[in-house]
Amino acid sequence: MAETSPRQLLIPFAGRGSPSCRAALPTLRLPNLESLLSRLTLADTDTQDESTRSPPHERALAQALGIASPDGCIPWAALEARRLGIAAPGDTEGWGLVTLCNWQVGIDDVVLGDPASIEIDAGESAALLAAARPFFEEDGIALHASPVPGRWLARAGIFDGLATASIDRAVGYPVSQWSPLADAARPLRRLQNEMQMLLYTQRVNDERTARGVPPINSFWLAGTGALKKEAAEPATAPTVNDTLRIAALRDDGIGWAAAWQALDAGPLAALLADYTRGARDVSLTLCGDRASQRYTVQPRGLARWAKSLFERKQAATMLEAL
């Protein structure tokens, strides 16, 4: 398993095209980010449209880990199962991440709520897993608990090659927009309907309603795919900093700007200090809705280095391009 490196930083939701976050862009004052970008060199760019199931930060992390997969098939579940020892080395069967969530039923649409806000604990997750397991097993799907309450690892051949949308794409949008439509997903859609009826009857949800937290009324499937071969993981992988995630998904422009200020004063200041002390393994990957950009240390002549200090990139302009 690759160790994460604080000198290799990956920031999801660094750019966000939702209205409030976009309006907050001109207010950002990020001196450490701008100083870093004036010293580092753009080494890699990945730009696609916002219809991709795998968002830029997931594509960038997969690339850093040496995983090459089609859109929507980055095998995060298989990778986690292997790291936890649930899947043996060489296991090439399909896996998927089953995340319990709250579907918000409106007049016109059913919207996926952020699973991070449902406040599920380990006891609730275990109780619901025990209730759900027989239903999944009827479809040949084996369920396993994970260290994260409300998130299960599922193993079945159906997940190999089945494209699914990341939760980070789907939160806040109509479920129909991002649900898998392939014929292979029909049994999963039926299973999802069965689970909605089952969850409605669970005591866990009665207790949750009594204490005023959202009911758990469905699940989201993502991270599907198989590890086809023994992946040679790099010695180090980037540290993923999710500070911006919650505010970005809620389109909380004020909160997103405040989170950016904290990032600039903390991890980015530390990264700049490492660079200033002479570290040459510094890298920064910034990801938005459409694109990711990876900046690294590369040799530059004295004239080019001096010029870069006077041509500091404006953070707002650069982040808008993501």
pLDDT in tens, 8-52: 999 999 999 999 999 999 999 999 999 999 899 999 999 999 999
Q: What torsion, rounded to 10 degrees, do the Cα atoms 96, 5, 49, 259 define?
A: 100
CA neighbours within 13 Å on the CB side: how many for 202? 23
Asked if the model's pLDDT at residue 197 lies above 60, the reply is yes
Tell me which of 1-10, 11-20, 46-55, 305-314 is least confident: 305-314
Contact at 8 Å (CB) between 185 and 53? no
Tell me which of 88-92, 98-102, 285-289, 306-310 is least confident: 306-310
Q: Helices 122-138 and 203-210 sit at what angle, rounded to 10 degrees?
A: 150
- Which is higher by pLDDT, 1 or 152? 152
Q: Which residues of 175-211 are buried (b: 16+ CB within 10 A; e: fewer)?
A: beebbbeeeebeebeebbeebeeebeebebbeebeee
Across residues 187-209, what is the average pLDDT?
A: 90
Strand partners, 5: 238
Cite the beta strand spans of the chain per DSSP E: 3-11, 41-47, 95-101, 103-105, 110-112, 142-145, 151-155, 218-225, 236-240, 283-287, 291-296
| Rounded Cα distance, 86 and 153, in Å | 9
- Which is higher by pLDDT, 73 or 106? 73
Q: Are strands 41-47 and 291-296 parallel, antiparallel or unpaired?
A: antiparallel
Look over the chain and give the mean of its residue pLDDT values, rounded to a whole number.
Answer: 89
Asked if the model's pLDDT at residue 306 lies above 80, the reply is no
> What pLDDT was estimated at residue 131?
95
> What pLDDT was estimated at residue 163?
94
For residue 91, count CB atoms less than 10 angstroms from its CB and return exposed for 0-12, middle for 13-18, buried for 19 or more: middle
Asked if the model's pLDDT at residue 313 lies above 70, the reply is no
CA distances (Å), origin 24, targets 30, 44, 154, 210, 235 = 13, 26, 39, 37, 37
Strand partners, 47: 291
Q: Are strands 3-11 and 283-287 parallel, antiparallel or unpaired?
A: parallel
For residue 304, count CB atoms less than 10 angstroms from its CB and return exposed for 0-12, middle for 13-18, buried for 19 or more: exposed
Residue type, position 310, single letter: F
> What pLDDT was estimated at residue 232?
58
Across residues 290-312, what is the average pLDDT?
A: 69
Fold of domain 76-225: Alpha-Beta Plaits (3.30.70)
Strand partners, 9: 239, 284
Across residues 94-102, what is the average pLDDT?
A: 95
Across residues 248-273, what is the average pLDDT?
A: 96
Other beta carbons within 10 angstroms of residue 229's beta carbon come to: 8
Tens of pLDDT, residue by residue over 111-132, are 999 988 888 999 999 999 999 9
> What pLDDT was estimated at residue 303?
45
pTM over 0.75: yes
| Rounded Cα distance, 37 and 304, in Å | 14
Domain ranges within the chain, ordered by starting residue:
3-53+232-320, 76-225
| Rounded Cα distance, 159 and 96, in Å | 6
> What pLDDT was estimated at residue 73?
95
